[in-house]
Amino acid sequence: MIKQFPDNFLWGGATAANQFEGAYNEDGKGLSIQDILPKGILAPLTDEPTDDNMKLIGIDFYHRYKEDIKLFAEMGFKVFRLSIAWSRIFPKGDELEPNEAGLAFYDRVFDECHKYGIEPLVTISHYETPLHLAKAYDGWINRKMIVFFERYVRTIFTRYKDKVKYWLTFNEINSIIHAPYISGGIWTPKEALEEKELYQAIHHELVASALATKIGHEIMPEAKIGCMIIAIPVYPLTCHPDDAFKAFETERENMLFADVHVRGKYPAYAKRMFAEKGIQIDWDESDEEILKNTVDFISFSYYMSTCDTLDQSKKNGKGNIMGGVKNPYLDASEWGWQIDPKGLRLIMNKLYDRYEKPLFIVENGLGACDELIVDAQGNKTVIDDYRIDYLKQHLVQVHEAIHDGVQVMGYTSWGCIDLVSASTAELKKRYGYIFVDRYDDGSGTLERYKKKSFYWYKKVIETNGKAL
């Protein structure tokens, strides 16, 4: 069947400031929590940034953005997802005046995108809370974060209202359950964190997200503002009804975040969930009204599916922040993430059935070890057929979902240019169409080389998916 994608489908790629900008202390930028996290999200923190932290230099997008955006344009990108580093705009997070040099940097980046007709898709907060807010306030546990966030979003919406049409509030907002430090800027160690505090932080983020949506719509009536969640279908490990219900509950706990964003209130099942956890959330009297500011679309990352069962001793799966139980029918990436293209069609249908709102796939891809070789023409490249195969299989399922009736705005594959991994903080785990000559021992020229997948994706975009 010839593949038919919508005419205005937004093809592109995705990144995050802390994983590729580098320049961690230039032009007035303050430290973010990522700057003291040298070995990935689950490893210990350091007091100060240390030289072994690959994110401090990243892939030096801060200085090479022109070259990189030119390469994205060559692939035909319609959209480029990036995040704003909050600590470039408000270095500590709680000051009253923004840092002009930080604002000016993103002006230059957005202008460069528009030069090629590329729409920026901007994540407001992507795992990069200013360090001071984590240390001094315990991150999102503290209600004051809403005030600081409001100041930050007002500043960037006002500044970029004519340059940015597509916005996402919090990256993978539901990841806070599993990774409260990177996702919630929470300083209290996970072991010492009470569930009540965790859900209070979640509530503050949900209110802040709705408030940002409200302010965004006021300042930019034409803008489209979305939430961003990790989407993971959870299969019952067996057809025993207990397993089926367990899997359903795990998936639904994950969905709670989208429920609030799209329905403008907590879902009915939350009441029992909080009662069983013995949790009572503190509400401000304005919260109920603020939460009614719902999003224009739902964006999500998709890398894998997982399984669940009542028998928790079977929990052995690895994956994108949440692990789960291994599925005997699926292969996995080198990092144990279970590859499931059909799961993408499934979760898209589930999301659309539930909300009937447009979807945007803003992360998907294969993290792999790439080998730079010299081809017959003497060019350095990577023959990444495994990546092409992964992306192709997933895009075929996106196509199927569209023809199931799901409304989809676009697709931005993760790490369109190699960048530092969030979970391992290494450059060994690469996702890009463009190879960056930098290695985990700090060596490398930072030169960019086109991989085989670069030409493949260019063709896919050029033909609006027909070449899949």
Taking the complex as a whole, the smallest distance from the CB of residue 464 to ligand BGP amounts, in Å, to 26
Stretch that binds ligand BGP, among 23-31, 385-393, 419-427, 436-444 (CB under 6 A): 419-427
- 458-464, long-range: CB < 8 A, 24+ apart: 458/74, 458/75, 458/76, 460/11, 460/395, 461/11, 461/75, 461/76, 461/77, 461/78, 462/76, 464/5, 464/7, 464/9, 464/11
Provide, rounded to whole angstroms, the least separation between the CB of residue 252 and ligand BGP.
20
The secondary structure of the chain in percent helix, strand, coil, rounded to multiples of 5, reads 40, 15, 45
When asked if residue 414 is in the footprint of ligand BGP (CB under 6 A), the reply is yes
In the block, residue with structure tokens 């679309």:
297
d(CA 383, CA 285) in angstroms, rounded, equals 57
**Helical pair 385-404 and 452-462, crossing angle rounded to 10 deg:** 20
Going by C-alpha positions, the residue among 182, 186, 209, 207 that lies closest to residue 198 is 186
Binding piece for ligand BGP, criterion CB under 6 A, among 59-67, 155-163, 260-268, 418-426:
418-426
Q: Identify the residue among 21, 119, 128, 172 touching ligand BGP (CB under 6 A).
A: 172
Question: Does the annotation mark 26 as catalytic?
Answer: no
Would you give the end-to-end CA distance of the chain in angstroms?
10
Q: Among the candidate windows 56-64, 145-153, 191-199, 415-423, which touches ligand BGP by CB under 6 A?
A: 415-423
- Judged by CB under 6 A, does residue 423 bind ligand BGP? yes
Applying the rule CB under 6 A, the residues between 94 and 123 that interact with ligand BGP are none
How many residues touch ligand BGP under the rule CB under 6 A: the total is 14
The least CB distance from residue 176 to ligand BGP, in Å, is 12
Is residue 171 involved in binding ligand BGP (CB under 6 A)?
yes
Alpha-carbon dihedral sign for residues 378, 381, 383, 385: negative
Eight-class DSSP state of 338: B
Residue 299 interacts with ligand BGP (CB under 6 A)? no
366 binds ligand BGP (CB under 6 A): no
Is the separation of the CB atoms in 387 and 434 below 8 Å? no
Among 320, 327, 381, 397, the residue binding ligand BGP under the rule CB under 6 A is: 320
Biggest CA–CA distance in the chain, Å, is 68
Check 363, 371, 400, 426 and give the catalytic one: 363
- Per CB under 6 A, 451 contacts ligand BGP: no
Q: Does 296 bind ligand BGP (CB under 6 A)?
A: no
Residue 40 vs 264, nearer CB to ligand BGP? 40
16 belongs to the binding site for ligand BGP (CB under 6 A): yes
Phi, psi of 193 (to 5 degrees): -80, 125
DSSP string, 388-435: HHHHHHHHHHHHHHHHHT--EEEEEEETSB----TTT--SSSB--SEE
Quote the least distance from Cβ 323 to ligand BGP, whole Å: 13
Query: Which residue in 99, 421, 453, 464 binds ligand BGP (CB under 6 A)?
Result: 421
Q: Which residues bind ligand BGP (CB under 6 A)?
A: 16, 19, 171-172, 301, 320-321, 363, 367, 414, 421-423, 429
